[in-house]
Amino acid sequence: MSEPVMGATEVIRPDKETFLAEENPFESMMERFDDAAKLLELDPGLYKVLRTPEKQIIVAVPILRDSGEVEVYTGYRVLYNTSRGPAKGGIRFDSAVTLEEVKALAAWMTWKCAVVNIPFGGAKGGVVCDPNEMTLAELERVTRRYTSGIIDTLGPDSDVPAPDVNTNERVMAWIMDTYSMHKRHTVTAVVTGKPVVMGGSLGRREATGRGCMLVTRQALARLGLAMTDARVAVQGFGNVGSVAADLMAKEGARILAVSDKTGAYFNAKGLDIPDLLAWTAERRHLRGYPKAETITNEELLTLDCDVLVPAALENVITKKNAVKVRAKVICEGANGPTTALADDILESQGVFVIPDILANAGGVTVSYFEWVQDRGGYFWDEETVNRRLESIMTRSFDEVADWSDRYKVNMRIAAYMVAIDRVATMHKLRGMYA
């Protein structure tokens, strides 16, 4: 364990209640950053550097719709910090994308890569659009035009995107092809989350959910509990939540409830996860699932359970409902599901929170494996991928837990301290370019 980077400053900020808007994802994230920076006694200059994104790009994304109509969307790409290596972060297509959200997610990626100690910085991107209202051809045009708009920052040594909300392997294939056509040769390492036949990694799709299972197992062991027969509720039955639920069930856990945007479903004896996976594979949603009781998403969040996995949206656990949470462990499969104000309430109730920058870092870890395999031109079997992922996730959990014990802080602040210390150390070693 390295010694923290020390300085002589105290971070001063306005009162939480007046300063922090819970709905502002960047300020919510920075609330935790400030707490960790204060405990580290971070140098004032480094504090300014680490609180400021390196690059924020806004591009117009004009396309010709199938109808012949011209539409212009807005695209963003934020590189938050690249001191430890190329920027790494997903691209999302969603009508709710904002620059503040992308900036927050890019910062999260910076700390996430640092907390699991992989050689990437943090980035994020997005296009303000509704892909559900587009044809496949229109979606491809948006992807390629957006890629060309940010192409100067992309590259295996500079900025490596990945899938995120409403993007997938196909979108990554289009990005890779667009970039490769500009470079006049195939560059597989420019994106991760690609189809395996194009240089994607085995185990990548399951990696985030698998990472959630691994750190949850560690957390339960720390509390003297076991995964066997642990009662679990999972909010969000997309890629992360469904894989986490499936793997936890295979470890012996009882999955009490799951949900998606169409509703939440509960069975006190435990849901049949393979049956649920087959149901959603056919219909692409949970709506109408007949073998469980219907409950609300809010009821799911406040179920009496051992483990709660919020794996859907940001800011679902707030100061309004945190007091009702009865889980012993929260594993944050989503980015930013718990607000800073809710953190204080959960801590006072003794809830053990595995923070997002640790809990869902399995995805970026296997993205790193994919990037390594692409650059080396040698690919690993799935057992090797999963074994190396388990090694990194369990080691990272233990490191954060050590910092938590050492500084007598919760796991979230400890994770930020580990991450900030590593990024700050790199800046100190590299010095300031003038």
Chain centroid to Cα 111, Å, comes to 11
Closest CA to 360 of 246, 241, 244, 208: 208
> How many alpha carbons fall within 13 Å on the CB side of residue 343?
23
Q: φ and ψ at 319, to 5 degrees?
A: -65, -20
Please, which residues bridge with residue 59 across strands? 75
Whether the Cβ atoms of residue 192 and residue 204 lie closer than 8 Å to each other: yes
24/44 Cα distance (integer angstroms): 24
DSSP letter for 5, please: P
Q: φ and ψ at 58, to 5 degrees?
A: -125, 125
Given phi > 0 = left and psi -120 to 50 = alpha, else beta, which region is 288? left
Tokens of 235: 């909010």
434/432 Cα distance (integer angstroms): 6
Whether the Cβ atoms of residue 388 and residue 14 lie closer than 8 Å to each other: no
Using DSSP, state whether 226 is helix, strand or coil: coil
Tokens of 328: 């012993």
328 an active-site residue? no
Whether the Cβ atoms of residue 169 and residue 195 lie closer than 8 Å to each other: yes
Chain centroid to Cα 209, Å, comes to 11
**Neighbour-count burial of 321, counting CB atoms closer than 10 A to its CB (0-12 exposed, 13-18 middle, 19+ buried):** middle
Type of residue numbered 401:
A
Using DSSP, state whether 98 is helix, strand or coil: coil
Name the catalytic one among 124, 183, 250, 320.
Answer: 124
Whether the Cβ atoms of residue 81 and residue 113 lie closer than 8 Å to each other: no
Type of residue numbered 403:
W
Q: Is the dihedral of CA 353, 355, 359, 360 positive or negative?
A: positive
Neighbours of 171 (CB within 10 A): 25
Which residue numbers are catalytic? 124
